[in-house]
Amino acid sequence: MKIEIKVIPGAKKNAIKHEQDMWADDTWKVYVSAPAVDGKANKALIDLLARHFGVRKSQIEITKGLKSRHKTITIKGI
């Protein structure tokens, strides 16, 4: 499964919002409290997605946008 997300680092709390409308593709916004420093936000993102989808962290990979807020995530086993 591949999803396109926008990460918002430094948020007050960790949260996932999935919005779908008829004019745009599925939009996933992921808020993480970790700062975007030394990969901390990416680690928090993977932790949050693993809990949300009920998979191991090793099954989640950032395939595009490692240093960007807009990322493509591949989740194996779903």
46-59 pLDDT, tens digit per residue, is 999 999 999 999 99
What pLDDT score does 24 carry?
60
- Angle CA(10)–CA(26)–CA(59) in degrees, nearest 5? 65
Q: What's the structural domain count of the chain?
A: 1
Domain hosting residue 45, numbered range: 2-75
What pLDDT score does 20 carry?
64
Say if residues 52 and 73 touch (Cβ distance below 8 Å): no
- The CATH code of the domain that includes 26 is 3.30.1200.10
Q: Which residue has the tokens 């396109």?
A: 4
Say if residues 62 and 75 touch (Cβ distance below 8 Å): no
What pLDDT score does 18 carry?
79
Q: pLDDT tens digit string along 16-38?
A: 987 665 456 677 899 999 999 99
